[in-house]
A and B are shown apart, each in its own frame.
Chain A
Amino acid sequence: MNKVPVLETKNLTKMYGNHVGVKDLSLTVYKGEITGFLGPNGAGKTTTIRTCLALIAKTAGEITIFGLDSHKDAVAIRKKTGYLPGDFGLIPSVKVRSYLKYLLSLRECGSKKKMASLAERLELDLDRKTHELSKGNKLKVGIVQTLMADQELIIMDEPSGLDPLVQQEFYRILREEKKQGKTIFTSSHNLAEVESVCDRVAIIRKGQLVVVEDIQVLREKTGKVLEVEFGDPVNIDELKLEGVSEIHQDNGRFVLTIHENLDGVIGAVSNHRILNMSLKTYSLEQLFLKYYAEKENHERGGA
């Protein structure tokens, strides 16, 4: 099946005076996919997103969304795009319901029914006043306003800070949206946070795109980290299994980097008495250090 591009940037550059916001960034977000946009804080994620939405002017390059020019046709694009900013304020002293209805009326699409259903699933009380909301609840209002209008493209800037259970429900909602053919572009500084929902991941660092990869490929390349502490003596050779690329031993605690054969490794580990065990995804910084070690070393050497 041919992939249909929804959002495309070509050599996008945004300068803030002499400071580089984003440089020569070429990225394509395809229809029906959830694309994660990853990078450490200050990497240029927000700048990229806000340039695409014409909230800030680009310095150079091209951006097309739905085949339209992001700046000239900004209003036409916004009719089909929902956006959750990384930091936003609400109109004070009104009920959440009134605020959301107001935004629905400005969007001229979507439904109150969807608004109510999203609020219920995210456990958001629509009858609360906007200025009474906690940070988490404010984020829920943001998520509802982004998704309620049933738009084709959903852009979210770091939607994190929900309770774990609500976060899971939020991901379920995103997967449902994707099933309906929506295109989702969401930024994060935490790989673990988005890897369960993303189809593809674009990684940005210091204003430049480092890589765009299918999440599956990325997972295989980087692997997971299994930390396990045994209650009985274990020979390190027992753990040298297929799919395990690295093993470190530290006072009875073993750290394994696993690329595949997760069930085989867990099976072998479970032959012993386990005191403690955790399975982690590489953090973004670890990912950079590991996956792009060569590039890093090169950069460091140059510095």
Chain B
Amino acid sequence: MLGRITYMELRTGWKGLLVFGILILVVSAGMVQLFPFFQDSLTEQLEGENKVNLELPNEQRGNITLSWEPLENATSYMVLEDTRVSMVTAKIAYSGEGTSITFEKDFEEKRYYAVMAVIDETSDPVLIGIATTEKGEDPFKELLESPVYAGFTGGRSISMLEVKGFITLEFFSWWWMLAGLFIAYLSVSVIASDFENKRMDVMLSTPISRRRYLLEKFGAMSVIALLMILVAIAGLAGGLTSIDALNEISAATVSLSLIGCLPFLMVIAAVGMLTAVLFQKVRTGMGVTFAFVFAEFFLYTFGGFSKSLEWMKTISIFKYWDYSSVIIDDLFKPGDFIILTALAVVLIAICVWAFEKKDIPT
């Protein structure tokens, strides 16, 4: 797997790799630095809920009383009602100068009420807070459990107020794309550029078999993926240490969550190399490999939309790199690791088989 071709690949590409490594380090360490600010801002937003009080009737039917703390310079108030916290389909339930409203509960489903203060005619209303008919619930919880976020959380209940939740949503949603697409780009170009720049004839006139050539290039991809992961671990662990959050999430947890990404990246690398062998063009190979990565992501996301679509998740590689399981539940799944590794091995075997059959173009 590792040999002179691997070494040459790393040697000629070291400058690009170094720049990319620095980028990973800065972003992974830097992003964690943002957490305390993010936490403060989110807490402030959530505390707004306390400024709005919603009293439910004791029985199934009855009156709901919604009251809120007055805002000093408010001229009037507005209450929006919706079944979703995002308020995208909200209707105006009240508009006036009062600080409480009472209305009949003539519905079963969960509803959200956003209370806004109107300051003057020219500026936008200010959000005082959001209340829900489901008592004692973080109104943002539903948002995080929604299918949109399920791709990142695995449908787990997480809180963005904790560093664990922050890393799961903010770091990993960025990481898979950066690391995944970088390895996709590299794996296509290390093979396809040898075709395009007519280096393949000389390479394959040496006693290097096509299999060894591919395996050594794959070895180089593995080394690069591992280095990227190690840099990200160092960045995250360093960042967590600097904000004194290592007691909430240990370095071992961070390492395990990212190590699980290695076979995930290897599968992408194998797909990249396969497309390079099949199409022998950097642009075509890259397009197909990028499409593969995004398709896999959408399969995983769409699979979370409904129970009947769950099969989509099963065929997505994202299901088998469950970083949120490691971070939130402290559970590393070796089975998933093995499945992805096996898939990478199968793809590379297909790649070798295809390469041995293909003519080398002039």
Q: Which A residues form the contact surface with B (CB < 8 A)?
A: 46, 50, 53, 55-57, 74-76, 78-79, 81-83, 85-94, 102-103, 105-108, 142, 145
In Å, the complex CA distance between A55 and B206 comes to 12
Residues of A within 8 A of B11 (CB): 94
Residues of A within 8 A of B204 (CB): 53, 55, 78
Does B8 reach chain A (CB closer than 8 Å)?
yes
In Å, the complex CA distance between A271 and B206 comes to 58
Residues of B within 8 A of A56 (CB): 359-360
CB of B202 to closest CB in A, whole Å: 5
Residues of A within 8 A of B360 (CB): 50, 55-56
Given A91-B8, A92-B12, residue A145 in contact with residue B202 (CB < 8 A): yes
Given A82-B205, A106-B206, A145-B202, residue A87 in contact with residue B12 (CB < 8 A): no
Q: B interface, by DSSP: helix, strand, loop or mixed?
A: loop
CB of A48 to closest CB in B, whole Å: 13
Given A46-B362, A91-B12, residue A78 in contact with residue B205 (CB < 8 A): yes
Beyond A53-B205, A86-B362, A88-B202, list 6 extra A-B contacts (CB 8 Å). A53-B204, A55-B204, A55-B205, A87-B198, A89-B198, A91-B12
Does B178 reach chain A (CB closer than 8 Å)?
no
CB of A267 to closest CB in B, whole Å: 49
9 nearest A-B pairs in the assembled complex, by CB-CB distance: A83-B205, A89-B197, A85-B201, A56-B359, A106-B206, A89-B198, A55-B360, A79-B207, A78-B207
Q: Which of A55, A87, A88, A106 contacts B4 (CB 8 A)?
A: A106
Q: Which B residues form the contact surface with A (CB < 8 A)?
A: 4-5, 8, 11-12, 197-209, 357, 359-360, 362
A93 nearest in chain B by CB position: B12
CB of B324 to closest CB in A, whole Å: 41
In Å, the complex CA distance between A128 and B8 comes to 18
Interface CB pairs A-B, < 8 A, 30:
A46-B362, A53-B204, A53-B205, A55-B200, A55-B201, A56-B360, A57-B357, A74-B209, A75-B207, A78-B204, A78-B206, A78-B207, A79-B207, A81-B205, A82-B205, A83-B202, A86-B362, A87-B198, A87-B362, A88-B198, A88-B199, A90-B199, A91-B199, A92-B12, A94-B12, A105-B4, A106-B203, A106-B208, A107-B206, A145-B202
A74 nearest in chain B by CB position: B209
Residues of B within 8 A of A90 (CB): 199
Centre residue among B205, B207, B209 by max chain A CB count within 10 A: B205
CB of A104 to closest CB in B, whole Å: 9
Question: Would A85 and B207 count as touching, CB distance under 8 A?
Answer: no
Residues of A within 8 A of B205 (CB): 53, 55, 78, 81-83, 85
In Å, the complex CA distance between A76 and B209 comes to 10
